[in-house]
Amino acid sequence: MAAKICASIAPDDVQSITKQAGLAFELGADYVEIRFDFLRPEQLQAAIESAKGIKNRAIFTLRSKDQGGKFAGGEQDRIKWLYRLAEQKPMLLDVELDTLEQNDELADFLEGQKTPVLVSWHDFQKTPPNDQIADILSEMRIYSNYVKIVTAANNVEDSLRLLEMYETAIGLNPIFFAMGEAGVISRVLCTVIGNAPFTYASIEKAVAPGQLTVKQMKKLYDRMKML
């Protein structure tokens, strides 16, 4: 089966959501991730409306600043918007592990609504030792079987070590890869030697360090299919 690609969309305005999603699908992306945190809070309602037509192929993300995102409002405001995004029932709603652990009501609501959640965890400085990653993974399992651990690779060994974690993610839909130059190999191989349901790519400009474009990723995967 061909490896799947999710294009991260960092919209400048509400209109660019469907425009960029259209382009991503044309380029061959299977899914899109809409980074709602790139918009201003007052644009979010219109953005939700605009994303309705693509929500079945979309991951909705509203990342806070302290977790590497751009959301300009306060944390309570972000939680309020997470409820609204959840009500849309996108393909997946990305919610950080910390957010779920600190907001029991939100976690219960998501469970009750049966909103498919992608529990995420990021480290922008390093790739922690695998035993620490295993502990994080066991906390994540409580909330969903879609789990994403994204670290920063300071060398290729970090990437290879993170890829070993796939062997431990039994019964999960795991997405583990590393950011940065040394992480590129893990972005490509996470769907090949790991069982990641998809990898992330950009449409043009990288949304995170080391992101390849959809075009580059497709080219690599097409070549691999021929081997």
- Please report, as residue ranges, which positions from 26 to 85 form the binding site for ligand DQA (by CB under 6 A): 33, 35, 61
Set 55, 70, 89, 148: catalytic member? 148
Say which residues have a Cβ less than 8 Å from residue 137's Cβ, sequence separation at least 6. Answer: 147, 149, 165, 168, 169, 172, 174
Catalytic site includes residue 122: yes
**DSSP assignments along 34-103, one per residue:** EEGGGS-GGGHHHHHHHHGGGGGGEEEE--BGGGT--B-S-HHHHHHHHHHHHHT--SEEEEEHHHHHH-
Catalytic site includes residue 148: yes
Phi, psi of 200 (to 5 degrees): -95, 145
Verify binding: residue 179, ligand DQA, rule CB under 6 A. Answer: yes
CB 87 within 8 A of CB 49: no
- Tell me the closest approach of the beta carbon of residue 35 to ligand DQA, in angstroms: 5
Verify binding: residue 214, ligand DQA, rule CB under 6 A. Answer: no
- Does 87 carry a binding-site annotation? no
- Tell me the closest approach of the beta carbon of residue 132 to ligand DQA, in angstroms: 18
The residue among 179 and 182 lying less far from ligand DQA, judged by its C-beta, is 179
Give residue number: closest CB to ligand DQA. 208
CA-CA-CA-CA torsion sign (64, 65, 68, 69):
positive
- Please report, as residue ranges, which positions from 184 to 213 form the binding site for ligand DQA (by CB under 6 A): 200, 207-208, 211
**Binding mask 4-33 vs ligand DQA (x if CB under 6 A, - otherwise)?**
----x------------------------x
The residue among 107 and 212 lying less far from ligand DQA, judged by its C-beta, is 212
What is the number of alpha carbons within 13 Å of residue 150 lying toward its C-beta? Answer: 21
Verify binding: residue 224, ligand DQA, rule CB under 6 A. Answer: no
Q: Cα 209–210–216 angle (5° rounding)?
A: 140
Verify binding: residue 99, ligand DQA, rule CB under 6 A. Answer: no
Query: Could you give the 3-state DSSP secondary structure of residue 169?
Result: coil
Which residues does the annotation mark as catalytic? 122, 148
Where does this chain bind ligand DQA (CB under 6 A)? 8, 33, 35, 61, 94, 120, 148, 150, 179, 200, 207-208, 211
